[in-house]
Chains A and B, each alone.
Chain A
Amino acid sequence: MEYRYWRDRDNQVPCVLQALKTIESADANSAKWYRKHLEKLRKYSYLDLVKHKVIKKLKGKNPWKIHELRFFLPRKIARTFFVVARDSSIWLLHLIIKKKDQTPKKDIQIAEQRAMELNDEISYL
C-alpha cells in the first residue's frame, strides 16, 4: 500500500499531517503511535486488512466509497478517512480522535467533500 496525502488548495501542509501536529502538541505519545501504526500496517494488502477489520467501508449510502482506518492508540481511538485510487494507492483525507462511540456526521461530511474534490482532479471512481 502506498499512502498519499490530500491537501486543500490554500494549505501547503496536507490535512492529515496538520491534524497530527495538533494531536502531537497535546499528546506526543499518541502521535508517535499513530505514525508507527501507519508504517507497520503498510506491509499488508488491502484485502488482508479488510478481513481483519483494520479497514472498514462506511455504512449506508456511500457514493464516494469512503473507508476508514481503525487504530487503537493508548487510551484513544483514531479514525482516518481515506479513499482507494485506481492504482491501489491510498489517499488519506481526514483524521480524527474519537470522543464518543459514534463518529460525528460533521467529520464524515468533511471527508466526503474532500473526496468529491479529489474525484474532480483524478477520477478514482
Chain B
Amino acid sequence: MKINNKIKNRIKERLDDMKVDIGLQILELRILKNITQEKLAALIGTQQPGIARAERGVVTPSITFLNKIATVLDTELIPPKFAAVEENEMNYKNKSVLSSRSTPTKFYSSLTVISNTNYHLSSALIQKESILTLKT
C-alpha cells in the first residue's frame, strides 16, 4: 500500500516538530541534573554522539532509549498521548462537574453522580464535588 503524498508530508512535518521537542527535553533534563553528554552515555551504555544526535533532533529516539535516560536520572517518563483521546477525557471530566451543578440542589443528587462514575474521577475531583454539595 502506498501512502498519499500529502499525508506523507504532513507526517514528516509533525515528526520534525516532535524530534526538536524531544531534543529540547533531553537538553533541559541534562542541565537540571547537571550531567554531561559523555557521563550520561556511559550510564546508559552508549556513546556520546548518540545522545548529541538525539538532542539536536537528527534522529527519532525510541521510547526504550528515553526510558533508559529517565530511569538513570531518577525521573519518570510520561508516555505520549493522542490529542483526541486527551480532549475527550477533558470533556468528560467537565461534563461530569457541570451535570452535578445542573442537578437539583439535594445532597443525594451529586452523590449519585460520584457513585456512577467512581472509577474515572480522581480524588481531587471528588473533593470538588463534595465542596459543591456543602455549598448547595
CB pair B17 A74 closer than 8 Å: yes
CB pair A40 B57 closer than 8 Å: no
Q: Which residues of B contact A51 (CB under 8 A)?
A: 34
CB pair B23 A72 closer than 8 Å: yes
Interface size, B (range): 10 to 19
Interface size on A, residues (CB 8 A): 15
Point out the residue from B20, B27, B28 that lies within 8 Å of A73, measured CB to CB: B20
Interface residues of B in 45-101 (CB under 8 A from A): 55-57
Interface residues of A in 41-55 (CB under 8 A from B): 44, 48-49, 51-52, 54
Q: How far is the CB of B11 from chain A (nearest CB, A)?
A: 14
Point out the residue from B16, B27, B30 that lies within 8 Å of A74, measured CB to CB: B16
Provided the pairs A29-B13, A72-B56, A74-B57 are in contact, do residues A54 and B27 lie with their beta carbons within 8 angstroms?
Answer: yes
The reply to whether the CB of B131 lies closer than 8 angstroms to some CB of chain A is no
The reply to whether the CB of A33 lies closer than 8 angstroms to some CB of chain B is yes
The reply to whether the CB of A75 lies closer than 8 angstroms to some CB of chain B is yes
The reply to whether the CB of A21 lies closer than 8 angstroms to some CB of chain B is no
CA distance A37 to B36 in the complex (A): 20
1/0 per residue, CB under 8 A from B, across A71-87: the answer is: 01111000000000000
The reply to whether the CB of B31 lies closer than 8 angstroms to some CB of chain A is yes
CB pair A74 B20 closer than 8 Å: yes
CA distance A37 to B21 in the complex (A): 10
1/0 per residue, CB under 8 A from B, across A15-55: the answer is: 00000000000000100010011001000100011011010
Excluding A52-B30, A72-B57, A74-B20, 13 further A-B contacts by CB distance (< 8 Å) are A29-B13, A29-B16, A33-B20, A40-B28, A48-B31, A48-B34, A51-B34, A54-B27, A72-B20, A72-B23, A73-B20, A74-B19, A74-B57
Which residues of A pack against B, CB within 8 Å? 29, 33, 36-37, 40, 44, 48-49, 51-52, 54, 72-75
